[in-house]
A = this chain, B = another copy of it.
Amino acid sequence: MSAKEILQNYVAKTISLTDEQFDYFFSHFKPQSFKKGQAIITAGDRVNCEYFVTSGCLKAFYINDDLKMFILQFAMPTWWASDFDALYSGNVATIGLDCITDAEVLCLTNADREKLCKEIHAIEHFFRWRTNKGYVASQKRLLSFMNNDTKHRYEELLAQYPELYNLVPKQLIAAYLGVSRETLSRLYNS
């Protein structure tokens, strides 16, 4: 399936666009390819775009003063990723976005998203629902963090994304769960 078709299928789950409307919508996206390990957003950068993943796997992460990394999101195909705080507010990035594998994305600028939202009411609706879903998911993760122990959250993650198990280093899974790699290692070797 082409990047265009992946996006079209994804959009069709929320709104109905004519082919002409979708073509117009799609014309604002810029396809980009990245190699494993490449950075898409680096902390300190200005952020102009959000990225729709069509293949591969990204990580959105924060690095604290002690150089410890925390992963906010693994972005798989049909996921959106960016430093949304920086993107919306115009501040420089505090979140990095890197490729865990070779990856292809569709890049949409903030200005184009706002233009599209203004021009086509259905597209504003689409982006509202996308963020709604993200918000609910984020709340759920927060709750899981407060409520569940590491083992539980680890199993939860793998149940939701079994492919991560072979795809990403265990270190990164630990950084997503918010524990040290040693703790995660001990968790499933006992």
A10 to B2, CA, bound (A): 43
CB atoms of A84 and B139 under 8 A apart = yes
Chain B residues whose C-beta falls within 8 Å of the C-beta of A131 in the assembled complex? 128, 131-132, 135
Q: Main secondary structure on chain A at its contact with chain B?
A: helix
**Stretch from A22-30, A36-44, A141-149, A160-168 forming part of the interface with B:** A141-149
* Cβ-based interface call for A121 (8 A): yes
Min CB distance, A86 to chain B, in Å?
10
Interface, chain A (partner B; CB < 8 A): 62, 64, 68, 70, 72, 84-85, 88, 117-118, 121, 124-125, 127-128, 131-132, 134-136, 138-143, 145-147, 178
Min CB distance, A173 to chain B, in Å?
14
A127 to B125, CA, bound (A): 9
Identity of the chain B residue whose Cβ is nearest the Cβ of A65 in the assembled complex? B147
Chain B residues whose C-beta falls within 8 Å of the C-beta of A141 in the assembled complex? 142
